Structure 1
Amino acid sequence: MAEGLPVTVTITKVVKESPGVTTVFFDREFESCIGQFVMVWVEGTDEIPMALSYKNAITIQRVGDATTRLVAMKPGEKLGIRGPFGNGFRLHGKILAISGGAGTAPLLRVGLECPDVTFLMGARTADELIFHKMLTEKCDVRVATDDGSAGFHGYVAGLLDEISLDEYDTIVVCGPDPMMRSVLSVLQKRSSLEKSQFSMHRYMKCGVGVCGSCCMDPDGLCVCRDGPIFSGLSLQNSELGKYHRNAAGLKEK
């Protein structure tokens, strides 16, 4: 692609994964490491960061103007894609994947492409579990729902009580910040942080570490340039799960 410019792609298929989550496929594959992200330009609306759930697709949770426009798009419409950007997961050995809600999407390829994976999947209700059937065909999947409508009744971190962490070489985590903070706390207590990696999500304007909108306290690391994958050890004293940031990068508790 021309340096810094998005590649135009055509939407080929739109799949509704759950009441609030949609996958949009396009006519080009982007070679990427599992965990990298792209900047998605929606003409006339905004450009936002999205993880690649497949090499040719993004999975969207409707939360704002750009995502609302994205989930309403139809095959034949166009998007602009910049990237992939950032680092990916460092995957080896036996893998434990832990996801919450739409955080299953950035971990999907771990379950589909890696040979020895246990997948802990959390959601508010059974209807909000995404990629469940597909993943159960590839790996050992265990489910938690907040309302008890499927699997364990409670948060996904509760499933760790049934897991021997010593059996795993790599632990990967993605989901809402409070969920990831609770998982980080469990891993810290059980001396497993050194083999954990967390996929962080922040609002970004540039995707390459220039604008600073995705910087994290206390070290000033940029999610786009230094992440989006961070070791659990590096997040122990970070802002993860303590407060949110708005589109201007300002703290919101």
Structure 2
Amino acid sequence: MRPIHSKITEITEESPNVRTFFFDTQFNEATPGQFVMVWVHGTDEVPMTLSGKNSITVQKVGDATSRMFELGIGDHMGLRGPFGRGFTIPRNDENVLFIAGGVGAAPIAPLADIVKARGIEGRTILGSRCCDEILFRERFACGRVDITTDDGSEGRGGFVTDQLAETDTSDYDRIYVCGPEIMMYKVFEILKARDGHVKTEFSLHRYFKCGIGVCGACSMDPEGLCVCRDGPVFNGGELEGSEFGHYERDSSGCKCRF
């Protein structure tokens, strides 16, 4: 539970608002999809999904992430974890489909690395707002990669759901999804209509401070599942009838509509 004082060894600028930070701390036993609590000294402690055994990929969206963008190689952050439930690793004889939107590619990328290394057949639907913000396309090169961009600057103009609607998902044994929750919920609806949501895993993002299910900030109705402890990866069957896709909670625990 004590943060490990970790030094930044490398920073990669993935896009104008996304950077990957590499550390001298390795989380070799982490499962793809698990997260660490990142202590940005003097600012805040926030959850970040691991994008590699020693890296996090950060989008500049608030105080803590803005402060991270001011740090350089040799600076330090505190890391504790890994926490939570990650993705199920597919068997070598299974076909997999990855669906990622924006920085949601980061939690799935380590799983794609495993799939590629094992020679498992994989296909990816990778979405972003524009061509400059497409993340980790080379890491998803374990099979066909369909690019979608909101502005049509590369690949198919539109959303990942447009591509998914035309994809025969019965060909895949496992489906993995991460991105903005509204996107994920639309994916959920498409797959549920095909009875494919039960073979699909979704990586959720919620506000929380503890990382172990104590503070209750990430508790989801009606079962009271905690995203930090019981997730952040959930099977689609677990999300039926939940608040997923309908509302989230702010730092005080109040419900907020998406």
Q: Taking structure 2 as the reference length, what is the TM-score of the superposition?
A: 0.93
Match of 2:123 in 1: 118
Is it true that 1:233 corresponds to 2:237 in the alignment?
Answer: yes
Q: Is 1:111–1:139's contact at 8 Å kept on the other side of the alignment?
A: no
CA contact (8 A) 2:112 2:139 kept: no
Q: Report whether the alignment pairs 1:101 with 2:83.
A: no
Shift of 1:71: 2.1
CA drift of 1:170 comes to 0.7
User: Which residue of structure 2 aligns with residue 27 of structure 1?
Assistant: 24
* Number of aligned residues: 249
- Map of 1:149-160 to 2, 5 A cutoff? 149-160=153-164
SS in 2 for 1:82: strand
**10-19 or 234-243, which deviates more:** 234-243
Tell me how far apart the structure 1 counterparts of residues 217 and 248 of structure 2 sit (CA, whole Å). Answer: 12
Q: Is the 8 A contact 1:184 1:232 kept in 2?
A: yes
CA distance in 2, matches of 1:20, 1:241: 25
Task: Name the amino acid aligned to 2:212.
Answer: V
Letter in 1 for 2:218: C
- Cα contact 2:175–2:200 (8 A) shared by 1: yes
> In the alignment, which of 222, 225, 238 is matched to residue 226 of structure 2?
222
Determine if contact 2:217/2:253 at 8 Å carries over to the other structure: yes
Secondary structure of 1:133 counterpart: coil
Looking at structure 1, the residues matched to 103 and 33 of structure 2 have their Cα atoms a distance apart, in angstroms, of 14
What whole-Å deviation, never above 9, does each CA across 1:139-162 have from its counterpart, x for those lacking one? Answer: 321111111111111110111133
CA displacement at 1:194 relative to structure 2? 1.2
SS in 1 for 2:228: helix
Please say if residues 165 and 190 of structure 2, whose CA atoms lie closer than 8 Å, have aligned partners that are also in contact. Answer: no
Cα offset, 1:27, TM superposition: 0.8
| 8 Å Cα contact 1:104-1:175 kept in structure 2 | yes
Q: Which runs of 5+ in 1 are unaligned?
A: none
Aligned partner of 1:123: which letter?
S
After superposition, give the CA deviation of every residue in 1:68-91 in whole Å (9 maximum; x if it has no partner).
Answer: 111221010011111000111113
Equivalent pair of 1:111/1:119 in contact (CA under 8 Å): no
- 1:8 equivalent to 2:9? Answer no
- 1:51 corresponds in structure 2 to 49
Which residue matches 2:145?
Answer: 141
